[in-house]
Chains A and B, each alone.
With several copies, the nearest count.
Chain A
Amino acid sequence: MSSEGRIPQSDSRRWVDATPRVSGEPLEQLPLDLYIPADALAIWLEQFEGPLDLLLYLIRKHNIDILEIPVARVTEQYLDYLALMKSMAIELAAEYLLMAAWLTEIKSRMLLPPEPRDDDEEEPLDPRAELVERLLEYERTTRAAGLLDEQPRRGRDWFDLSTEPPDRLPAPAVPADLAGLIAAMQGLMREGSVRRAHHVRAEALSIRQRMTEILVALAERPSCELSEVFHVEEGRMGVAVTTVAVLELARTHALDWSQESPFGPVTLFRLAGKTPEPAVEEEMPR
């Protein structure tokens, strides 16, 4: 056994299966007659993630080159669908109608002589260019999503195993670090107890900005890992700014932190209630 990524695979599910299904049965033909029940059509429409998805489906179904979309034909089909939906009193999301308007506009612009361009480029602007780019982008998105879905996923395709660690695990000895201790006291003296005038250098990274980022991160979730708010690429300066930002936020009771186990990850968490506007000078804290 040596195959790459040997995490168990799920049965390979087909991702982009745009064949509409009604009650599980594939609907191969476009619904041309009006005997299709309205709710079946509604279910069919629900299969699509929006107008881009529906358009891509039409294009794929008819084996159309996405770069050479016959806009007139595709627009007609698209509008046919919408008309059918409307005749069945199916409420369409605004996005579908917006797409209809856009397609119609592109169609009419295709009929006009190409607009002359300001720059020297030879190719005139194709009215379809933006549509094509958006379709391609959406297609990339669906394929990326398909790839993610096929990726063996923890909790679906494989599960962590664990035995309980022995309870007599010796507590790791904390080394006595006198230099660290002295540095810590020195830092405290500077920050708080003894305040003296000192020279302040300009900061390249804004503490306030960083504080905001941390607050925003904590607005989304009640807590986050301390490691998440550090940006490795900012180097020591970044570490300092982030640390000061975290400390300042803690000082103003905007957040607090906890550490579940000694030496474990530090979790920052939002304090219940309001998140006060951090009161800090734009310079370094004392």
Chain B
Amino acid sequence: MTEKAPPSDHADTPVSSGSEPPEGLVELVEALLLTVDEPLSLEALSTMVGQETAPELLEAALVRVAKRWQSHRFIELANREVGGRRVWHLVATAAVAPYLKAGDPGRVPKLSRAALETLALIAWRQPITRGEIEAARGVAVNPQILKQLAERGWVRSLGVKDSPGRPEMLGTTREFLGDFGLNSLAELPDFERFAGQDDIDV
């Protein structure tokens, strides 16, 4: 293990030495940006680093951190305005995205059972309302699931039903047919004929 210098390192350097931040401070700011999950404001940084470090010095340290990453192909110091305050964070650029995707075979996306059941009900029983899906599945429909199915382009609204509460009716899209290799909904197997014939093998 490399011996790391103690954290107090930067503290003994004079605080108001112009705007050139001591190396220890730059590294500290960098480490804090990387360790804290959320983007940091100057105030948040100041609370952590200690009030005795002048804000200008902190700002100078941020500039130095930005410089350190400027030539990096995949990471940069980004800042944005949140509620009137500028916050800073180190972000991976879009260039990393394809690699992240490649590296996550565990994330081979699959529909959850709940999503599959919801989609199945929509496909076979369309037009169907959310309430009807809930009745058939016996559990509340997670809005995330409907959102996911809509984002995938498989499910769309068919308008509202003219009944109390005017519930939205859901149905499948043409894209759904295409993605599932179907020419029409009629190609979906007719379950009413086979239902209940097998044993439940649990």
Contact = CB atoms under 8 A, between A and B. Distances in A.
Q: How big is the A interface, by class? A: 35 or more
B70 to A, nearest CB: 8
A11 to B, nearest CB: 9
Given A99-B138, A139-B195, A156-B97, A171 B151 contact: yes
Chain A interface mostly helix, strand, loop or mixed?
mixed
Interface in A210-226: 212-213, 216-217, 219-221, 224
Given A53-B138, A247-B138, A141 B121 contact: yes
A177 B94 contact: no
Interface string B159-187: 11000000010000100101111100000
Contacts of A60: 200-201
A65 interface: yes
Contacts of B182: 151, 178
B53 to A, nearest CB: 21
B150 interface: yes
Interface in A243-268: 244, 247, 250-251, 256-260, 262-263, 266
B68 interface: no
Interface residues of B, number: 82
A237 interface: yes
Interface string A142-180: 111111110111111111111111111111111111101
Contact of A185 (B35, B112, B121, B199): B121
A1 B136 CA distance: 41
Contacts, number: 341
A256 B139 contact: yes
Interface stretch (B12-20, B21-29, B43-51, B85-93): B85-93
Contacts of B126: none
A284 interface: yes
A166 B66 CA distance: 17
A1 B2 contact: yes
Interface in A229-286: 237, 240-241, 244, 247, 250-251, 256-260, 262-263, 266, 284
B200 A198 contact: yes
Interface in B24-76: 31, 34-35, 37, 66, 70, 75-76
B109 A262 contact: yes
30 contacts: A7-B78, A8-B76, A8-B91, A8-B93, A66-B200, A99-B138, A140-B191, A143-B202, A144-B117, A144-B188, A144-B191, A146-B202, A149-B111, A152-B181, A159-B92, A160-B89, A161-B89, A163-B34, A165-B96, A170-B101, A171-B151, A174-B110, A181-B116, A189-B191, A189-B195, A198-B198, A199-B199, A212-B160, A213-B159, A251-B139
A166 B91 contact: yes
A142 B119 CA distance: 11
Contacts of B138: 49-53, 95, 99, 134, 138, 191-192, 247, 250-251
A187 interface: yes
